[in-house]
Amino acid sequence: MTTQAILQLVLYVAALALLAKLLGGYLARVFSGERTFADPVLAPVERTIYRLTGVDPQREMPWTTYAFALLAFSLFSVLALYLLQRVQGSLPLNPAGQGNVPPHLAFNTAVSFTTNTNWQSYLPEATVSHLTQMAGLTVQNFVSAAAGIAIAVALVRGLARHSAKAIGNFWVDLTRAVLWVLLPVAFVLALIFVSQGVVQNLDAPRQITTLPGEVQTIAQGPVASQEAIKMFGTNGGGFFNANSAHPFENPTPLTNLLQMLTIFAIPAGLTAMFGRMVGNPRQGWTVFGVMLALFLVGAVLTTVFEQQGNPRFPDAVDQRASASQAGGNMEGKETRFGISASALFATITTAASCGAVNAMHDAFTPLGGLVLLNNIAVGEVIFGGVGAGLYGFLIFAMLAVFIAGLMVGRTPEYIGKKIEPREMTFVTLTILVVPLLILGLTAIALVTERGLLGPLNPGPHGLTEVLYAYTSGAGNNGSAFAGLNANSNFYATTLGIAMLGGRFLMIVPILAVAGSLAAKKRVAATAGTFPTTGLLFGGLLCGVILIVAALTFFPAYALGPIVEHLMLRAGS
């Protein structure tokens, strides 16, 4: 790694830790219903919303009701977004004259944005109107993120409470996440983005004549407002096809840094919130530490692999880093970001189930791309999506204490709660569902004619494109090895299944765990209790997370990126 790359990483991590601490305290206050500095402005808005929608904020829900409310809200979200796309051609705010989105694509996109995946089978510049971007996609950027936060908060309440029937009120958690957390930050961030050159208007594409005399059509739109929540809500769906590589979405190194920080901000903040809400900040920092360790390994590896460049490039190409160029594998990367800011962004966006890209992952070196794939495949728990990262991680924490319990022959406990067969059943379910979707659907795609029409690249790289797609879908990440042509009935449908399963088959068992934990009595810690803070537990957790992923995915990795790497080195 270059000195600059190391410095960038150190400064990034320092800023992130600070953000986590600040945001953690704030989130804990927001979701415990305590007073915050924003109350004078937001509390009246909140009360109005409850009055309009008939919500009684004092009335809490058992986990079954909480899950029903979430599923109902998500169902209406899918329907509303599907409908909007299907009729956008006859609605206002469509200066480019986009037609109605075809059914398979509208279904895929509706599911994609509602599940916080933001996989994009469509070419935005040629498909969606400004109204769909705003009232459809931007809305789901907010509410799917808010729903994720709500579930994480509910699970934390399950651990923090004892002998309780309820885990919170979904309507209140959702509303407070939007009003107190997402909206104010997105608003400020959007204006900063505009000041850097991110466009924000309602215009049609603009035609100009370039210096060499060609006609160039430049797409426009309300980009900054969507860009801000796209990052802060770890959504990742680009206003443009090139996503955060597009100069109108991410024009400068400053916007790039802000985007990288806002992807991880809430996931990191939630770890600190967790520590506070269970009454032991060290529990939170242990989670943060494990996530950080796994993230750093990936960030360093990706940067090193990309900086090494591509051995296939002809000798005439100068890939060495120097004072006047970044060097390395610049295929699919932007000059202003070079290698280090592209590799770091890619590691963050895959670790965090964001899926925004500022470089084309398909063009990464085989091993650089493998790190990105693995970041998603471990279950989006390396900070992970907003909310999804924490609840996925806590599931792994319970698995880790269970394994530790087996080794010493004691009933496992986590945060003063006995982890018993009922919880372990749900834990196992949530850990199995994503690999099952990924490997099952990849296998189907690879043995069917219509599946094999997808990949752009030949050989093992084509296999990686398919594997990455279902991993991204089931992991609710949304980034792609974008050479894959996923705009077909086959991929739209199977990826839709992956996204729905990866979201809701996770959420329901997790809420069941939350409800079951909330009802338990708290057991006092004794000398025999396995401590769930500190290095020993952190190391065990890293091990569990990596071993589960390795056992599940190594054969697939071997057939895709690892073979491709060996081929490149061998020069064949």
- Nearest CB to other proteins, comparing residues 404 and 466: 466
3-class SS of residue 410: coil
Q: How far is CA 198 from the centre of its chain?
A: 22
State the minimum distance, in angstroms, from the CB of residue 429 to other proteins: 24
Q: How far is the CB of 55 from other proteins (least distance, A)?
A: 6
Least distance CB 91 / other proteins (angstroms): 13
Q: How far is the CB of 317 from other proteins (least distance, A)?
A: 5
Give the span between the Cα atoms of 318 and 156, in whole angstroms: 52
Tell me the CA distances in angstroms from 389 to 186, 234, 569, one per residue in order. 20, 10, 36
- Toward other proteins, which CB reaches closer, 389 or 455? 455
CA separation, residue 117 to residues 237, 434, 500 (Å): 8, 14, 9
Which amino acid, residue 284? Answer: G
Q: Which amino acid is at 364?
A: F
Q: Which is nearer to other proteins, 235 or 532 (CB)?
A: 235
Looking at the DSSP bridge assignments, the partners of residue 333 are 359
Is residue 88 a contact partner of residue 101, using CB atoms and an 8 Å limit?
yes
Distance in Å, CB of 242 to other proteins, minimum: 4
Smallest distance, other proteins to C-beta of residue 374, A: 17
Q: Which is nearer to other proteins, 89 or 92 (CB)?
A: 92
Q: Which is nearer to other proteins, 76 or 554 (CB)?
A: 76
* Shorter beta-carbon distance to other proteins: residue 114 or 117: 114
CA 399 to chain centre: 22
Q: Which amino acid is at 52?
A: L
Q: State the nearest-atom distance from the C-beta of 265 to other proteins, in Å.
A: 17
DSSP-derived letter for residue 199 is -
CA distance 235 to 352: 10
In the complex, minimum distance from the CB of residue 518 to other proteins, in angstroms, rounded to a whole number: 11
- Which CB, 409 or 458, lies closer to other proteins? 458
CB 303 within 8 A of CB 12: no
Q: In the complex, what is the shortest distance from the CB of residue 69 to other proteins, in angstroms, rounded to a whole number?
A: 5
Q: Is 290 or 300 the residue whose CB approaches other proteins more closely?
A: 300
Q: How far is the CB of 350 from other proteins (least distance, A)?
A: 15
d(CA 131, CA 84): 9
- In angstroms, give the least distance from the CB of 169 to other proteins: 10
Residues with Cβ within 8 Å of 179's Cβ and at least 6 positions away in sequence, in order, are 42, 45, 46, 49
Neighbouring C-alpha atoms within 13 Å toward the C-beta of 43: 9
What would the two tokens of residue 412 be? 């496992």
- What is the spatial distance between Cα 155 and Cα 518, in angstroms, rounded to a whole number? 9
Q: Which two tokens stand for residue 526?
A: 């004794």
Residue among 246 and 430 whose Cβ is closer to other proteins:
246
What DSSP string runs through 22-73? HHHHHHHHHHTT---TTHHHHHHHHHHHHHHHT--TT----HHHHHHHHHHH
Q: Please compute Rg for the chain using Cα positions.
A: 23
Around Cβ 174, how many Cβ atoms within 10 Å?
A: 20
Among residues 73 and 557, whose Cβ is nearest to other proteins?
73
Q: Residue 90 or residue 207: which is nearer to other proteins going by CB?
A: 207
- Give the whole-angstrom CA distance, residue 229 versus residue 240: 15
The whole-angstrom separation of Cα 452 and Cα 106 is 23
Nearer to other proteins, 175 or 271 (CB): 175
Contacts (Cβ under 8 Å, ≥6 apart) of 280: 415, 533
Backbone angles phi, psi at 275, to 5 degrees: -55, -45
Beta carbon nearer to other proteins, 354 or 399: 354
Both structure tokens of 454: 């997808």
What is the distance between the alpha carbons of residues 355 and 552, in angstroms, rounded to a whole number?
Answer: 22
- Nearest-approach distance from CB 402 to other proteins, in angstroms: 29
CB of 96 to other proteins, least distance (A): 8
Residue number, 252 or 493, with CB nearest to other proteins: 252
209 — phi, psi (to 5°)? -105, 125
Least gap, CB of 306 to other proteins (angstroms): 10
474: nearest Cα among 143, 148, 117: 117
Nearest to 385 by CA among 561, 266, 563, 230: 266
